[in-house]
Amino acid sequence: MRRKPFAAWPVFDETERRAVLEVLESRVWGGYSPKVSEFERAFAAFHQAAFGIAAANGTVTLEAALLAAGVGPGDEVIVPPVSFIATATAVSRVGATPVFTDIDAASYNLDPARVADAITPRTRAMIPVHFAGQPADMDALPDLARRYNLVVIEDAAHAHGAAWRGRMAGSFGNFGSFSFQQSKTMTAGEGGILLTSDEALAERARAISNQGRCKGGAWYEHTSLGANYRLTGWQAAVLLAQLARLPAQLNRRARNAAVLDRKLGSTGIVRPPAVDPRVTTHGYYLYVLGLNGSIPRDLFLQALEAEGIPGASAYPHPLYRNAVFDALPHRIEDCPEGERFCRECFWVSHEVLLADESDLDDFVRAVEKIRDGSRELVSAARV
């Protein structure tokens, strides 16, 4: 059994230390710290968007985007069944109706054909999630949105630095929403940002995030309904440093993912991620694997943990099976692929992809050992 941890996360050094100290000594710690606007500009520019609105997390960014786009009661919003809960509950929190629509069997992202089937006269928006860091189909989904006049909010909480045909995730829709929560590939512990290239939408989202203040208005002048979603100076300073590390980390993860694809693929028991050829950069927030059916997923995960491979996880069920929706308007389209995903797939988190190649070999050996003992494991689990 392996006892050594994989790479530590988050990664930081003197740059973050100095950045936090700089904010401390500036005595401007809150959302009006110049570090916040510097980070908004840098993150938006890196992701090829004109405007960035930093926020407290990647949940309120989704809510602000929906509100800024005028989505509310009576509107339907298409979401995938395989995501973090916030993708769907953000829709409910603005009074609209999430419509759970199936994912594609290979990419685990919203399937454009299923989205087309789910559109009704009430559909106002869709929230494609770039699940695990792989961009959703940014040809077909924006096309459908144009055809049916739908708002697109990309949930890019997993997709910092990811790209589709060379264009950055988060820059295709009316809004792109990112999270900087502890586990994400850029983090300040918590945090989020909305990207848009539409100036009017940017101003509305900023007003919603900043107590309804308008551009050029006074501190106590509130022209619309808002709240306080502001990011702090500390977080922005740390995120500037994290952004500088992102390109090298993306490269390292992609190199290690290629090694794992080859070595794990040849074990015959697990199915490495299928990356759409139009994806030019996969964010690899999660390295997602399928199983060939010789061992149940949860038994496999227990065995992997017993071998000392950390960070393996899976969604137990599609989002719509959470009790929260019992009391909320929602619609469930037929989602056989979402159901299959939750039965058969799992992932290891991105810090495993920052490891040395020898660490990766421990992972491969653990999978081979489970494969070789799978018959015994399955029969022992039956008794």
Ligand X SMILES: Cc1ncc(COP(=O)(O)O)c(C=O)c1O
By CB under 6 A, which span of 151-159, 272-280, 292-300, 371-379 interacts with ligand X? 151-159
48 is catalytic: no
Decide if residue 57 touches ligand X (CB under 6 A).
Answer: yes
230 is catalytic: yes
| Tokens matching residue 131 | 């699940």
CB of 86 to ligand X, least distance (A): 4
Q: Which residue has the tokens 């964010």?
A: 283
181 is catalytic: yes
CA distance 374 to 36: 52
DSSP per-residue letters across 56-93: S-TTHHHHHHHHHTT--TT-EEEE-SSS-THHHHHHHH
180 is catalytic: no
Which of 89, 171, 179, 187 forms a contact with ligand X (CB under 6 A)? 179
211 is catalytic: no
Decide if residue 192 touches ligand X (CB under 6 A).
Answer: yes
CB of 155 to ligand X, least distance (A): 5
- Residue 219's Cβ-count burial label (10 Å; 0-12, 13-18, 19+) is exposed
Residue 114: enclosing H or E segment and its boundaries?
helix 112-118
CB of 136 to ligand X, least distance (A): 11
Catalytic residue among 2, 167, 181, 198: 181
Peptide bond into 10 cis (omega under 30): yes
Catalytic residue among 39, 84, 100, 175: 84
Decide if residue 83 touches ligand X (CB under 6 A).
Answer: yes
3 is catalytic: no
Catalytic residue among 160, 184, 206, 282: 184
What single letter denotes the amino acid at residue 312?
A: A
By CB under 6 A, which span of 20-28, 155-163, 231-239, 327-335 interacts with ligand X? 155-163
Decide if residue 107 touches ligand X (CB under 6 A).
Answer: no
According to DSSP, residue 50 is labeled S
The number of beta carbons lying within 10 Å of the beta carbon of residue 255 is 11
100 is catalytic: no
In DSSP terms, 125 is beta-bridged to 77, 151
Which residues of the chain form contacts with ligand X (CB under 6 A)? 57-59, 83-84, 86-87, 129, 155, 157-158, 179, 181, 192
